[in-house]
Amino acid sequence: MKNTIKVGVIGCGNISDAYLKAAPQFPVLSIVACADINMDAASAKAETYGIQSLTVDDMLADPEIELILNLTTPQHHVPVGLKILEAGKHAYSEKPLALNVAEATELASLAKRKNLRVGCAPDTFLGGSHQTARKAVDAGTIGAALAGSCYMMCPGHEAWHPNPGFYYQTGGGPLMDMGPYYITALINMIGSIEAVTGVAKASYAKREIASGPRQGEVFNVDVETHISAILSFTCGAQVTLTTSFDVQKHDHNHIELYGSKGSMIVSDPNHFEGDIQVSKGKGDWETLPQSHLYGDGNYRVIGLADMAQAILDGRPHRASLELSLHVLETMEAILKSAETGRRISLKHQCSRPAALSDQLPFGHL
């Protein structure tokens, strides 16, 4: 019986190392090649990880590669994704799924016609901490979810990234860049979103690169950099979400959920690890024992591994097109609400992804 899927990687930038380092921990993945428009980058990555370097066209033409991991920048996610599907291969991309819902719908339509799968990051909701939080919510530890708050606020990626400009172009900004982690984590715990209300602004017209070979270089800001929203969930909960590249320092928890029987502090959804704390009624905070694997490191390939295993098993994969489209529509609606001053109802709903089993051995999904 077949037990591995051959995978190719398109895009050999910073994020590819996280995927390539974690992949050997999941036996279902056999990453055999990488490609990039910069063949020097592809060759260097191939040498580091002991895989083949190919041109993008050669990778798309390779009949043995069934699944392609798309790690290009956001504006290329859909154009490259469409090429992957046209080549008859399943596609899994970094977040966001697309720059907008119209683009994503084109991708979804082609996937349906070709009977192929599309997956999308983030997959951090599959980490041990967030699956522990999911299990506690499902067990009724805090009762029915009533409300919540989420904060992702920092000074901006130009403080550390050597080439931060794309974070401030269409498809970037704190909501499109980091919002998927928070919104996906919430959907994993309490379900889909019904409607949103948002406000947004850009606090600075220009930014300065603070480190690396381009230090001191100034670039333009084309997107909103401080966005706040109210997310109205189908279950009745209302959660506030603020994402910002304009805040120097703050003291908010990443995610808090408030239920009818207690409250929960949820760890950073950009990571797989972290403490989950609950307070029953007005009681003191207690740290929950971690119930699941993958809460002790960076497993930023687990969504791809789950998708590969799902292809072999004939079941739905968790970091799905349905989920990522719902997250994308949520973010687009927040920005549309900020522009129009109206509450926006969502059209594309999704189911909660299936919880991970806490009984499977490490590396198996």
| 95/304 Cα distance (integer angstroms) | 13
* Token pair of 335 as six digits: 């920005």
Domain ranges of the chain: 5-120, 128-290+327-345
Is the pLDDT confidence value at 189 over 90?
yes
Is the pLDDT confidence value at 171 over 90?
no
CATH superfamily of 5-120: NAD(P)-binding Rossmann-like Domain (3.40.50.720)
Per-residue pLDDT reduced to its tens digit, 23-36: 999 999 999 999 99
Angle between the N-to-C axes of helices 173-190 and 128-138, in degrees from 0 to 180, rounded to the nearest 10: 50
The whole-model pTM stands at 0.96
Sign of the dihedral through C-alpha 250, 254, 257, 262: negative
Letter string b/e over residues 129-157, b meaning 16 or more CB atoms within 10 A of that residue's CB: bbbbbbbbbeeebbeebbbbbbbbbbebb
The H-assigned helical ranges of 34-100 are 39-49, 56-61, 77-86
Q: What is the pLDDT of residue 120?
A: 98
Distances (CA, A) of 165 to 11, 186, 217, 329: 17, 29, 10, 24
Per-residue pLDDT reduced to its tens digit, 94-120: 999 999 999 999 999 999 999 999 999
Q: What is the pLDDT of residue 166?
A: 87
Q: What is the pLDDT of residue 165?
A: 92
Helix (H, G, I), strand (E, B) or coil at 201: strand
Architecture of domain 128-290+327-345: 2-Layer Sandwich (3.30)
* Token pair of 6 as six digits: 């051959």
| 44/34 Cα distance (integer angstroms) | 10
> What's the rounded mean pLDDT across residues 224-243?
98
Q: How many beta carbons lie within 10 A of that of residue 59, not counting itself?
A: 24
Q: How many beta carbons lie within 10 A of that of residue 88, not counting itself?
A: 12
Is the pLDDT confidence value at 170 over 90?
no
Q: What is the pLDDT of residue 205?
A: 96
Contact in structure between 73 and 166 (CB atoms under 8 Å): yes
| 138/133 Cα distance (integer angstroms) | 9
Task: Report the helix count and the strand count for the chain, using DSSP H and E.
Answer: 9, 17
Cα of 143 vs its chain's centroid, Å: 27
Is the pLDDT confidence value at 142 over 90?
yes
